[in-house]
Amino acid sequence: MSDKIVAWLRTVLPGAYSALVAYFVTLGLPTWVTDLLGDASEQVVGVVILAVVYPVLRWLEVRTPDWLSRLLMGSARPPTYDKREVPA
């Protein structure tokens, strides 16, 4: 698998997991929170959950078997970046 696809998967999958968790969390939010945040409550909760889920997945990645890393992050290995390919 190319490094671009690996990088994409390792970005999108944690975001998808976070969106799923955020959906269920917002269903159970107290009314005072939704009144306070209004229409932005889902977005705010989504960002907060992503800020928690991504580091947890990265922490778990090195402590789990490869098959579970693939399930959680989309790939058991991080992408490699050649310094020559990075624009200055």
Is 83 contained in some domain? no
**Interior/surface letters 45-83, b for 16+ CB within 10 angstroms, e for the rest:** bbeebbeebbeebeeebeebeeeebbebbbbbeeeeeee
Domain residues for the domain of 31 are: 3-76
Whether 13 maps to a domain, the answer reads yes
48 found inside a domain: yes
What does the alpha-carbon distance between residue 84 and residue 77 come to, in Å, rounded to a whole number?
21
CA 20, 24, 30, 32: dihedral to nearest 10 degrees?
A: 30
pLDDT at residue 65, as a whole number: 92
In this prediction, residue 88 carries a pLDDT of: 57
> What is the predicted pLDDT for the residue at 86?
54
> Structurally, how many domains does the chain consist of?
1
Q: Summarize pLDDT for 22-72 with one digit per residue, the tens.
A: 888 878 878 887 778 777 777 888 888 889 988 998 898 889 898 998 888
- What pLDDT does 87 receive? 60
What is the structure's pLDDT at 51?
92
Longest dimension (CA), the chain: 52
pLDDT of residue 25: 82
Is 87 inside any structural domain?
Answer: no
